[in-house]
Amino acid sequence: MLRVVGLKLIRLVPVLFLVSLATFFLIDLIPGDPAAVALGTDATLEDLEAIRKSLGLDKPITERYGDWLGGALTGDLGDSLRPPNEPVSDLLQRSAGPTLRLSAMALGMSFTISIFLGVWSAHAAGNRADRLVSGTMFTFISVPTFLAALLFIFFFVFRQSVPRYLWLIIVGLVALRLVYLAISRWLEERRDFSGWAGYVVAALVVSGLLLWVFIQWPDFPRTASHRYDDNWREQLRSLFLPALALALSEIAVFTRLLRADMLSTLQEQFVLSSRAKGMPTWRILFRDALRPSSFSLITIAGITLGRLIGGTVIIESIFGLEGLGKLIVAFGVLPKNYTVVQGGVLVLAVGYVLLNAIIDISYQYLDPRIRRGRV
């Protein structure tokens, strides 16, 4: 196993080398003189020479690449070309935290909700519950992220009573549904107490949890907090709406993908064997069928996390979050601060490559057939 992991890590070296080359040549692909583009038409010759020297434009390209790569390996990505002229690595470090927390929270919400909905939809394939989930997912995937963010701000911040009492209606419907199932099971199996008592207990527990959420309904802020000294509850409360806006379309994609894979897995011989042995439905779904159905989901989740980290600029702008995407666009691209763009693109590209490597390695643990070279 360690040998396989080592080989995969060795294969990353040429990929990372190509990533560094592409990132380095960003400045050279800019039409004209990068120094003049950065400083504008009013720059003096002395300013232009100073910028060229700081960027290393007066050196041969191979020497420039070697100096830049050596600095990047030690965490030195140069200084910002715009005031306050801070080191780029400090800017990236300060902005990466909020973006990572937001992306991780959005991915966690997507994963958690889509696993439940995907398994449920596959188990109830073809009936009303499956059609309801499928229709809801098509609606989610049709809503642009920025529109979802604006709608969440309007309803959860300025019209808080609407989602809160809508949640109360959902609590009542779920409780009534579980009570109905309990009564139906009791009428079918009057002698089997465990058959219908389970639904009664489930109705009480689920309804109690949903009602507790209604009572503890928080006041969501208009802007997201990016302070590290806030406690974890305040951070979750401030990041909930932007994370939910990011997660909405991902929930739809993950749910549909998992449903399709689960439907195929539920027809496999080992699942049919578990059913023939009288195994509980929850065990068949979550222990036998979910694991072999999760490969596509994990692959897409890893790609999604990399895309979320680099593509949160719109959400960060709407919720006032000083994250990595906003830094690259607002402080890098728009003011033509190319060292910030260069450093930001390098960090995002390397992170994306490493995430895919981790996903590739995780397959070895999920499926023994891959470890043995049978797939």
Work out the pLDDT band at 375, boundaries 50, 70, 90: very low
Q: Which residues contact 179 (CB under 8 A, 6 or more apart)?
A: 199, 200, 203
pTM over 0.75: yes
Give the span between the Cα atoms of 284 and 281, in whole angstroms: 5
Question: Minimal CA–CA distance to 310: which of 363, 358, 355?
Answer: 355
* 285 contacts 123 by C-beta, under 8 angstroms: yes
Q: How many of the other CB atoms lie within 10 Å of CB of 122?
A: 24
* Cα angle 10-16-22, degrees, rounded to a multiple of 5: 155
* 28 contacts 57 by C-beta, under 8 angstroms: no
Three-class DSSP category at 87 = strand
Q: What are the tens digits of pLDDT across the range 248-285?
A: 888 999 999 999 888 888 888 888 887 777 777 777 88
Q: Does the pLDDT value for residue 36 go beyond 80?
A: no
When pLDDT is averaged across residues 97-126 and rounded to a whole number, the result is: 87
* 114 contacts 256 by C-beta, under 8 angstroms: no
Q: What are the tens digits of pLDDT across the range 214-226?
A: 677 777 777 765 5
